[in-house]
Amino acid sequence: FNEMQSMDTGNKVVNQDNFKSTEQFDYVSFEDAMGRATTSESLLLDLVSQGSVAADRFICPFATGDNGIIPPYCNVYEMGSSFTGSQVSEITQANTNFIAKSADVPTEAAYSVGLSGTGSAAAWINTHIMEGRTAGVDFGDYFETGYPEYHFWNYDMNTGWIYTDDDVVGGLGFMQGVDLVYKEKTTASGVIEAFSKSMAIQDGVRRL
């Protein structure tokens, strides 16, 4: 059993990782020993933002998006693998980056597993994506004050908030534009000649 892991909480650019893991596992059970190996591993990434002005987050001048707002979001990604059996030769790799100086760098996560052996193997990915809708801008107020007012409002559900000269009207919830749930799992049992699976996600306004 060999495992190498590294963690760095500094700002990263594209193709650099905050967390990286490589695990190699070999196991053989003799017939009279009645031994068994069980292993399970998962990578979880939970991303949350209340929304912000794009000009404050991006270096790229062309990445400000519609109306210059990064909508709020709440996205969860989980991927991993497991094995139980009498013999196995397995290697897994996981990496993710989630800390950057600007929003130009998308958040990424990847996981892969490859094995052969006798037993039961599984690999999976679970996601729940909740994305907000871009805000509108009141340019009428901009011509009066020199500062636009950003209106977060869900016209489908009649929720959100809007600044006025006197107060904030509407509810306290941000508008939600997307609610997506995705789950997928691959399994194999018996004498497994080869089992491999690779999964990767990229989350950001700018994708590569």
Are 170 and 186 in a shared domain?
Answer: no
Nearest to 149, CA basis, from 158, 159, 160, 162: 162
Containing structural domain, residue 141: 136-174
User: What is the pLDDT at residue 135?
Assistant: 53
Q: Is residue 78 part of a domain?
A: yes
Which amino acid belongs to residue 160?
A: G
Nearest to 207, CA basis, from 106, 131, 129: 106
Q: What is the mean pLDDT of the chain?
A: 83
Are 71 and 165 in a shared domain?
Answer: no
Are 63 and 89 in a shared domain?
Answer: yes
- Judge whether residue 170 has pLDDT over 50: no
Q: Is residue 208 part of a domain?
A: no
Report the half-sphere exposure of 97 (CA within 13 A, side-chain side).
Answer: 19
User: What is the pLDDT at residue 138?
Assistant: 53
Are 86 and 54 in a shared domain?
Answer: yes
* Structural domains counted in the chain: 2
Are 98 and 161 in a shared domain?
Answer: no
User: What is the pLDDT at residue 107?
Assistant: 94
Are 168 and 107 in a shared domain?
Answer: no
The Cα 88–Cα 26 span in angstroms is 6
Are 31 and 119 in a shared domain?
Answer: yes
Contact 192, 116 (CB under 8 A): yes
Confidence label for 155 from pLDDT (cuts 50, 70 and 90): low
Helices in the chain by DSSP H: which ranges?
Answer: 139-145
Are 44 and 125 in a shared domain?
Answer: yes
Are 93 and 162 in a shared domain?
Answer: no
User: Model pTM?
Assistant: 0.80
CA 7, 13, 16: angle at the middle one, nearest 5? 40
Which amino acid belongs to residue 14?
A: V
User: What is the pLDDT at residue 49?
Assistant: 85
Are 7 and 88 in a shared domain?
Answer: yes
Are 147 and 182 in a shared domain?
Answer: no
- Judge whether residue 8 has pLDDT over 90: yes
